[in-house]
Structure 1
Amino acid sequence: MAHREIYEHFHPDEKPFVDRAWEWVERAAERHETKRTDFLDPRQAYILFSLANRHPDAQVRLDGGSADAERQRAIIAPDYRNIEVEDMGIAVLDISSDDRRISELDHGDYLGALLGLGIKRDKIGDLHVREDGCHALIAEEIGDFLIGHMKQAHRVDVMVSMLPLSALQEVKIKLDEQMFSVASLRLDGVASDVFRLSRTKIMAPIRAGRCRVNWKSEEDPSTLLKAGDVVSMKGFGRFKVLDVEGVSKSGRIRVRIGKFV
């Protein structure tokens, strides 16, 4: 397949990943190689699946360690191989502490502690944060390093150990639901209401490439959102459009938003 035909479906910023993913698919189909990736975000997983579906001799399996995992590892293999039995290489890193302040730590504190050790983001899957600690899904190959080096999370002394996937204590994502009345479903309009910023101030990060809609870079403030869309704004947080509930008599649109807590 011509590269131009591949790229026309994706954002220019995604070209490096598209190149890598297409190489994985070609190697599986034409050289009979099997590849296990690091953790992919949902947009990367979509791209990989899209490319694999264009090649009849390749197949893909995704697994993030839990049924509702957002970040997942992939196996890309020739179509004749039984990939359901392939080891996905995912383990649970149990992070705990005797310090009561651990109950104050959040997702960002744990992720920051892991990245602060020099771990790449794509070696870490979903984080399940509880009041008494955290279960982090990780690539099993970094487990020994983390056991030897992770001693703190946001100035709280912690203990870490490796657990099998069967021991995962899954925590469902919490959304703070809010109702807004907006003039339109434009990205800048909805985001300015959710993050309580003026339309002018929300434009800058969007045009600077700091916004993603469904994990895809979006630089057009006029992009129209729809139910199910997930919007993330670097430095501000992220939200999901849960429902568009109709138009009021004054012509404004009622939209239900869930902010990720």
Structure 2
Amino acid sequence: MQKEIYGHFHPDEYHFVDKALEWVERAASQHAVKRTDFLDPRQAFILTTLVNRNPDVHCRIDGGYPAAERKRAIIAPDYRALDNEDMGIAVLSVSSGDGKFLTLEHGDYMGAILGLGMKRDKVGDIHVIEGGCHCLVAKDAADYLHLNLSQVHRVHVQTELLPLDKLELANVQLDELNLSVASMRMDGIVSDVFRLSRTKVLIPIQAGRCRVNWKLEEDPSKPLKEGDIVSLQGFGRFKVIEVEGVTKKGRIRVKIGKYA
């Protein structure tokens, strides 16, 4: 059965598949309830797929607000109501009175948090807002971060723990690009978006540093479609906003949104 399930996933995902299977099986056979740390969208998809295979188990997935990217899950026997279960998420507000936040970005906050020895899966979405950021964190890590996070990229900061209803969301701005491409092949579009040669794009793709919709993708010829989110480690990520049609010369017009 395990080998049959593995056939649906990339070898890089087997470790998580094993963990998720254990959660599901314990909920079914031992009536155990499991609250996970934060999952990325691909992990949430894998977990949901495995839960749906077992009629005796269900789950709730929540990241603290409706459009959350990273979410926690509760897996439980199907007779247990999950709507009122505590997802264990707090809002860590980070602020400074010296006006230097204009230069701080998502990666600066993440780097400061991980620099305290915090695991990535204890951190949900980070929203960079005017005067600081609101970061969704696991409640069991919230007090530690509140007490120890005092500096972000050489800027001294203050922190405060807030309830979820005080969360402020970032206004996500995508830098739009209009491309004319010969095909929807991933390597060609990635090359154009990040202004790299095809040769230089192939190296990170084949080294496992590219993900499409959070799934590892090592095939340079994979065709992209509207709505796909592509990330290339070390370069950033983008979304295929719209495939606008074909030119008279047979090229495809594509609208891309690069994340800041």
TM-score normalised to the size of structure 1? 0.98
1:148 positional shift:
1.5
Percent identity of paired positions between Structure 1 and Structure 2:
63
The residue number in structure 2 matching 1:47 is 46
Q: CA deviation at 1:220?
A: 0.8
SS in 2 for 1:83: coil
Structure 1 residue 80 corresponds to structure 2 residue 79: yes
Q: Which residue of 1 aligns with 2:93?
A: 94
Give the AA of the match of 1:120: K
Q: CA offsets, 1:102-129, max 9 Å, x none?
A: 1210100001100010101100000010
Which residue of the partner structure matches residue 25 of structure 1? Answer: 24
TM-score, with length taken from structure 2: 0.99
Distance 1:204 1:11 in 2: 19
Stretches of structure 1 lacking an aligned partner (at least 5 in a row): none
Partner of 1:239: 238
User: How has the CA–CA distance of structure 1 residues 172 and 27 changed in structure 2, closer, same or farther, with 3 Å as cutoff?
Assistant: farther
CA distance in 1, matches of 2:197, 2:240: 19
- Superposition map of 1:151-166 within 5 A: 151-166=150-165
Whether the aligned pair in 1 keeps the contact of 2:34 and 2:76 (CA below 8 Å) is yes
Task: Tell me, in whole angstroms, the C-alpha distance in 1 between the residues paired with 2:17 and 2:175.
Answer: 34
Residue number in structure 2 paired with 1:210: 209
- Tell me the CA shift for residue 172 of structure 1: 3.6
Instruction: Give 2:119's aligned residue.
Output: 120
Match of 1:177? 176
Alpha-carbon distance, 1:51 to partner = 0.3
Whether the 8 Å CA contact 1:103–1:130 is kept in 2: the answer is no
- Is this contact kept in 1: 2:210–2:217, CA < 8 A? yes
Q: Does 1:56 align with 2:91?
A: no
What amino acid is the match of 2:18?
A: D
Matched letter for residue 101 of structure 2: I
**Distance in structure 2 (CA, Å) of the matches to 1:172 and 1:74:** 26
Post-superposition CA distance 1:113-160 (Å, at most 9, x none): 000101011000000101300000000111111121111001000001
SS at match of 1:84: coil
Structure 2: how far apart are the matches of 1:237 and 1:99? 29
CA distance in 2, matches of 1:103, 1:78: 47
The amino acid across from 1:26 in the alignment is E
Q: Does structure 1 conserve the Cα–Cα contact (< 8 Å) formed by 2:59 and 2:75? A: yes
Q: Which residue type is aligned with residue 30 of structure 2?
A: R
Q: Distance in 1 between matches of 2:215 and 2:259?
A: 18
Counterpart residue number, 1:254: 253
User: Hey, which bits of structure 1, 4+ residues long, moved more than 2 A?
Assistant: none
Amino acid across the alignment from 1:197: L
Structure 1: distance between partners of 2:146 and 2:237: 31
Contact 1:104 1:131 in 2 (8 A): no
Report the equivalent of 1:109.
Answer: 108
Q: Secondary structure at the match of 2:83?
A: helix
Contact persistence 2:129–2:169 (CA under 8 A): no
Shift of 1:173: 2.4
* Per-residue deviation, residues 9-68 of structure 1 (Å, max 9, x unmatched): 100110000000011011111111000000000000000000000000000111001110
Give the gaps of 5 or more residues in structure 2. none
Counterpart position of 2:2 = 3
Q: What is the CA deviation profile of residues 139-192 of structure 1, one whole-angstrom value per residue up to 9, with x for unaligned ones?
A: 011111112111100100000110000110112422111110001111100000
For 2:34 and 2:173, the matched residues in 1 are separated by 33
Over the aligned positions, Cα root-mean-square deviation in angstroms equals 0.7
| 1:192 corresponding residue in structure 2 | 191
